[in-house]
Amino acid sequence: MSSDNKSGVRFAYIASFLTPLTLMLSGIVAVIYAAYKLNKGTDELTYSHYYTIIRTFFLFFTFFVVLGVTAATMTGMVAGAEYWVHSPFLDKLLSAIPVVGLIIAALAIVKWFVKHIQGLKLLSQNKPIAL
């Protein structure tokens, strides 16, 4: 792998790594860059890393969309039930839904960071990621 290819993959990893902190802007740049490089043709090592960056971005994007829709739907259902029933349990459940969502999202972001750190370590060792 040439140093130019390695620096390109490293740029894509860093941009993708910053996705949760830049409200997805850097992740979109990383995906576009990785897709462009894949389209130009690369060796097997860089292909596996670029493909993993794209796959991870869309996997986590889908996860967060589903998490948001689920939290919104659950909140609406519990709020509607609490409006009619006036239960202290439902009131506590209504206030706990955002906290549970925050914990799940924080764990997913930590996993996001760990996957990118593992990818960068494999890149520095010139090893492809198992697809």
CA angle 99, 28, 22 (to 5 degrees): 50
CB-facing half-sphere around the CA of 76: CA atoms within 13 A: 6
DSSP letter string, 75-98: HHHHHHHHHHH--HHHHHHHHHHH
User: What does the pLDDT profile of the chain (131 residues) look like in tens digits?
Assistant: 677 788 899 999 999 999 988 989 999 999 999 999 999 888 888 999 999 999 999 999 999 999 999 999 999 999 999 889 889 999 999 999 999 999 999 999 999 999 999 999 999 999 999 87
Residue 19 and residue 102: Cα distance in Å, rounded? 17
The pTM of the full predicted model, rounded to 2 decimals, is 0.85
| Distance from the Cα of residue 100 to its chain's centroid | 18
